[in-house]
Amino acid sequence: MSSARERQLVWLLGFLGVSYAAAGLGSLFTLPALDGWYRRLRKPGWTPPDRVFGPVWTILYTQIAVAAWLVRRVSAADPRLQSRGRSAMLAWGVQLVLNVAWSAAFFGRRSPASGLLVIVPLWAAIATTTALAARITRLAGLLLLPYLAWTTFATALNASVWRLNRHD
C-alpha cells in the first residue's frame, strides 16, 4: 500500500472513530433511559420499533464519517477548496456535538422539551453541513441526505412525544 493510501486509510479510520465515539457517548445517555422512562412515554402510532434505531444509526454514523473523509480528501487536494473544506469540517463537528447533546437532553434529562430545544439547531447544523459538503463533493452531500431525512423524522417524532406527554 502506498504512503498516500495509508494516510487516506488513517483519515477514514479517524473519522469513523470520531463518529462511533459520538454514538457511544450518546448511548451513555440513551441506554439507561430506555427500559424505564422511554418505554412508559406515550408515543405516536408511527414510532418505529426499538429494534430499528440501532441499525439505522450504525448506517448513518458510517455515512457521516465517510462524508467527512471525502470532504477532507477532496479539499486537501485542491488549494481552492481548502477554505470551504475547513467550513464544512467545522459544521461537521458542530452537528456531531449537537447529535450527542440531543441524546443528553432527550434521554439524559428525560425531557422531550429539552430534546426539541436541541434537535432544531441539530437539524440546521446537519442541513448546513450537507450543503457545505456538497459544494466540495456531491457524493459527500448525498451521503448526508439520509441523516438529514432521519433527523427530520426524528424532529417530528420528538415534537409528537413532547405533545403527547406534556403536563398542562
Provide block-wise average pLDDT over 10 residues at a time, the chain (168 residues): 88 98 97 94 96 96 98 95 96 98 98 98 98 98 98 98 88
The ranges assigned to domains in the chain are: 3-165
What is the fold of 3-165? Ferritin (1.20.1260)
pLDDT in tens, 15-60: 999 999 999 999 999 999 999 999 999 999 999 999 999 999 999 9
Report pLDDT for 1.
60
Closest listed residue to residue 48, CA positions, set 127, 154, 162: 154
Q: Which residues contact 83 (CB under 8 A, 6 or more apart)?
A: none
Closest listed residue to residue 151, CA positions, set 110, 121, 113: 121
Report pLDDT for 114.
98
Separation CA 31–CA 12 (nearest Å): 28
* 24, burial (CB in 10 Å: exposed 0-12, middle 13-18, buried 19+): exposed
3-state class (DSSP) for residue 1: coil
Report pLDDT for 108.
97
Report pLDDT for 168.
52
